[in-house]
Each structure stands twice: as structure tokens, then as C-alpha cells.
Amino acid sequence: MGGDPDGPSPPPLRSEFPAAARARRASPPFPLAAITGGFSSPRRGYPLGRHEPGVTLMTTAQQDALADGRGDGEGRRGGAPGIRSLIPARLDRLGWSRFHTMLVVALGVAWVLDGLEITIASNVTSLISGKQALNLSSADVSFAVGTVYLLGEVVGALFFGRLSDKWGRRNLFMITLGVYLFGGFLSALTFGHSQFWVYWLWASRFIAGMGIGGEYAAINSAIDELIPARYRGRVDIAVNGTYWGGALIGTLLTLLVVNHLPVSYSWRVAFLFGPVLGFVILFVRKNLPESPRWLLMHGRVTEAEAAVATIEQATEDSGGTLGEVDESKAIEVTPATDIGFVVLARTLFSRYPRRSILGATLMITQSFLYNAIFFTYALVLTKVYGVASTDTAYYYIFFALGNLIGPLTLGHLFDSVGRRRMIAGTYLVAGVLLAISAVLFQAGALDAVTQTACWCVIFFFASAGASAAYLTVSEIFPVEVRAKAIAVFFAIAQSFGAFGPWLYGLLIGNGKDHTTLFIGYLIGAGIMAVGGVVEIFLGVDAERQSLEDVATPLSAASRPSAHLSNLTGAPRPPAARSTLF
């Protein structure tokens, strides 16, 4: 297994393994009938409870000994050996199948929902502030539907991110979607006009934001851990880019539906669009399996074996290929359970300081630029170019299209050309193009149409780079802290990104002084360039690599080389699926 460039491995983690894990292991494998057309059994030819010749699984007694948690102070259980497994290698060698497509659809909808939710909220602010609704000032309604929602995302990412690493990916991506649905329906039930209903709207938007924030942490982790290594980059980038598909849908729904309904309740109907879509997806998600990687790292070997066998059979049944298992990719782990933010901090800043700087830089720079442009584009169109406020949505359609097409068309290059080159390239190209457009803006060479065209081209590249920032923080840290790491960097990015709209709002002013906004655009270009330069020097070449090669699990019992035994240095024997060592 490849080593981690940021430093040596720390001693194995001390952790407890609850006896309740025995009860969880007794649960049946997760059904995939809705995805695979009726299949719900393990791999063809090897019924549940049996396995291929030469493959040794942990016995129930051995797993019970592991679950009893008699620790020796070094992360290993007294009398209970660790686990040697090929589960990650088996997942990574799979060909693309209908299972993977349905996985992406079921989980990727989180970004569609976020884009839809933010766009709808932005479009109905004028309706909510009207006398027939809550009669709020523009600042108050923006705080209610925007700021409170973003705060909810930060809190939800941190809270549910920790639970995702503790309880599992599947449990959390069901819970977070349920929280979002609950918050969305509560927003639509804002019936009255008094101050009580203002507080009600605040609370409901906060709850909806918590659900979406939790989705970012749980689902990025699940997608990375279930998608084969050679597809991981393009899939992650495309999925993150679908945020703009949701934004596009939200804009069209506003133009075609909301604007044609009575003002008194049209905004309430608008808040139902996202929950209705999420409710449908809930039934697809319930058939998805838990991440076998997560199960393995928590010692739930029988469940992990059953889940990966189910995925293999689903792949074969839907026309996909399995490929050969690289037995040199066997990993050796000592199961760990609850790892808190103290261990996370030690992991980020002691074991992976360079990667932490990289992740923070990429997330902050893209968040600043996006929030600065996205939340002020309407002000530029109306105050600088004199576009009627009722017409800004039409310009936004093309802005969203540019952001959506970029990740979809460039995504595969992040797997073939490589992470470092593509991330640095997209950041730097976006920065250079923004600087050029700033010069044209200052020279008075742009109008509303050509300014929008410039934004479309700039964010064609910036959107792919921003999506790659989320990919980066989700794949460069160990599985045990992956969701919490995503949550922390998401929260950092949102906190810094919130500064962008305020700054650019000041620079726009009344739209008469173009010089201040010109400077603002140059600042944004410089910030994106910083992200690109940092990627050049600190980037991680994770393309087509197993997650365990990119970041060795914290619970790894050793760091074996590809072909040598960790104990003797002798050539490895053939690896079993999941064995005791």
C-alpha cells in the first residue's frame, strides 16, 4: 500500500467496540431489489453463509471476541487479532453497472436539492417581504431564508458529519434527507403573518439547512467509498456539479409556476418543490447498502462481506464486469469505533498538515468567489447594466448552464489527465479569465449579455475546479474521519465564503463607480490563482488510486508494501477475502 507523504503513521488508535455490534452483524444484507430488478442475494454460486474455496471468514465467536472490546491500550483487542481483507480491492475492480448509476442518482440528488432550495429561496424573497405574506424588510427576509439556512448547513455538516463516521453512511444519508424533508415541509406551513411565524420560518429554514449540510458530509463519503477508483473523480465532480442543475430547475419552476400563482401562497408552494423530490428519492435510498469500507473499519466483517458480495452480484446481473482482484491490495486493520474531533484535529494538523492546508485553501477560495458572484449577480445586472429585476432570471439560466456543463464535460479528465494538473488548471484558467473580464468591464466594453457570457465561460472552468475541491477533501483523509473532515472544511469554506457577498455588495454600491468593482474582480481572480498555485505544490495525485492507497486507514495494523509481508518482509501469501492474522 502506498505511503502517506505528509508523515509517519501514528500508533494505532485506542477505541472501544460496543457489544451491541454483535446485534448489528446479525442483520440481513441490505436489499437491492429496487435497483437490480429483484436481486437481493450474495454473489452467484456462493449462497450466504458459504464462500469461495480458500477464503476464510471470521467466525461468530471470533467476531464476538472482537466486539467485547478487551483493549490492550494500543487499539488492538486483547486476545482478538486484527483483520486482513480484500474488500476495498474488490470494490475498486468493479466495472460500471446499473447499481452504480442508481447509487449516483439516489445520493447525488443532495446537490440538486441544495441548488434548488437556495435558488427558490432567492427568488421568493420579494414575495415573502410583501404585505400579503410576512411583511418583512429585504434585510430581514434575506436573513430568514438565506443566512439562517447557511448557518443550518454549517451546524448540520458538523453534527451529522460526526455521526456519519460513528453510525455509518447509510444511516446518516437516510436521517439527513428526513431532516431536510421535515424542515422543507415546515417552511411551506408558514401560515400566519405575526412575529411568531417569522420565528417559525427561521426555525424551519435552519432545520432544512441542517439536513442539507449533513448530506454533504454523509453522501460525499458514501459515494467515494462505493464508486470504483477509476471512476471516482469524474463521478464526484459531476455529482457536485449537479448543484447547478438544481439551480436551473429552481429558476424554471419560478418562471413557469411560482410567478403564475397568487402572491398570497405562491412562495409556500415554492418551498414544497424540494421536499417532494426528496420524498421520492427516499424510497430509492432505502435499498442502498452500507459502505463495506465503513463496516470493515468497524469490525463488522460479516456484514461487510455480505454487502460487497451483494454489490458484486448486482454488478454482474446488470451487465457490469468484476475484473481481477489485486491480492497485493489486501489491507490489515484493527477495528475502531468512535473517533471524535480530538483525533480528527490530530489527524488533520499532525499527520496531514500539508493536505489540511490544501483542502482549506481549495475550499475557501472557491467558496469566496462563488458566493461573491452568485449572490451579487442580480445587483450587477440591475444597477450596473439597468436590467429589469423581473428579467434577471433569464440571464441566470445561462449562468447556471455554464456551471453545470463544466463539471459534466471536464470531469473525466480529472481521472485521466490527473487531479493536480486539472485542479490547478481550472483554478488558474478561471482566475485569468476573470481578470481579463475585469479589464473589459473597466473599459466599458461589456453589456449585460456579454458580461453574462463572460461569467458562463469563467464558471465553466471554476465550477469543475470547485467540484474538485469537494472531491479533494473527501478522498485525501482516512475513512474513519472522512465525513468529519468534509464537514470541517465545508464549515470553514462557508464561513469565509459568507464574507464575499458582503464585500462585493459594498463594491457594487449604486452601480456608478466601476473602479471599485473592477478591483473586486481582480481580488477574486487573485484568490482563485492562489488556489491553483497551492494545488501545484501540495496537490495529491489520487487519480485511479484506491482510497486506502491515498490515505492509509487510521486503524491499519501496519503499512505493508504491495508485495511484502508486514511481519517478515517475505513475499505475501495469496490474500483471503477477510481473514484473521
Q: What pLDDT digit, counting tens, does each position of 286-335 carry? A: 889 999 999 998 889 999 999 999 999 988 888 778 888 988 888 888 87
Comparing 37-41, 108-112, 178-182, 375-379, the range with the smallest average pLDDT is 37-41
Q: Give residue 250's identity as a one-letter amino acid code.
A: G
**Within 10 Å of residue 375's Cβ, how many Cβ atoms?**
20
Give the model's pLDDT for residue 138.
61
Q: What pLDDT digit, counting tens, does each position of 49-82 carry? A: 333 333 334 444 444 444 444 333 333 344 445 7
Give the model's pLDDT for residue 426.
98
d(CA 334, CA 477): 18
Percent of the chain residues topping a pLDDT of 70: 80
Give the model's pLDDT for residue 311.
94
Comparing 37-41, 114-118, 494-498, the range with the smallest average pLDDT is 37-41
Mean pLDDT of the chain: 80
| H/E element, 299 | none
For the chain, first and last CA: distance in Å? 17
Q: Return the residue matching grid coordinates 449585460.
A: 448
Comparing 70-74, 462-466, 508-512, the range with the smallest average pLDDT is 70-74
Give the model's pLDDT for residue 320.
78
Q: Please give the average per-residue pLDDT across 156-173, as a whole number.
A: 91
- 578-580 and 331-333 strand pairing: unpaired
Residue 478 near residue 348, CB atoms below 8 Å? no
Give the model's pLDDT for residue 275.
93
Kindly give, in sequence order, each residue whose CB lies less than 8 Å from that of residue 220, ignoring residues fewer than 6 positions away.
Answer: 236, 470, 474, 482, 483, 486
- Copy the grid coordinates of residue 304: 461487510
Q: Please give the average per-residue pLDDT across 480-499, as a whole number.
A: 88
Residue 553 near residue 54, CB atoms below 8 Å? no
Q: What pLDDT digit, counting tens, does each position of 382-414 carry? A: 889 999 877 888 998 999 999 999 999 999 999
Kindly give, in sequence order, each residue whose CB lies less than 8 Å from that of residue 116, ignoring residues fewer than 6 positions away.
Answer: 246, 247, 249, 250, 253, 273, 274, 277
- Is the confidence at residue 553, as pLDDT, over 60? yes
Beta bridge partners of 571: 564
Give the model's pLDDT for residue 406.
96
Q: Please give the average per-residue pLDDT across 83-105, as a whole number.
A: 92
d(CA 355, CA 347): 10
- Is the confidence at residue 337, as pLDDT, over 90? no
Give the model's pLDDT for residue 455.
94
Give the model's pLDDT for residue 563.
38
Q: Return the residue matching grid coordinates 444511516.
A: 171
Kindly give, in sequence order, each residue whose CB lies less than 8 Å from that of residue 565, ignoring residues fewer than 6 positions away.
Answer: 571, 572, 573
Give the model's pLDDT for residue 489.
94
Give the model's pLDDT for residue 558.
52
d(CA 537, CA 534): 5
Q: Return the residue matching grid coordinates 414544497.
A: 272
Give the model's pLDDT for residue 373.
84
More confident residue, 33 or 555: 555
Confidence of residue 147 (pLDDT cuts 50, 70, 90): confident
Query: What is the pTM (predicted TM-score) of this model?
Result: 0.80
Give the model's pLDDT for residue 10.
41
What the chain holds in terms of domains, given with CATH numbers, is 85-321+332-337 (1.20.1250.20), 339-543 (1.20.1250.20)
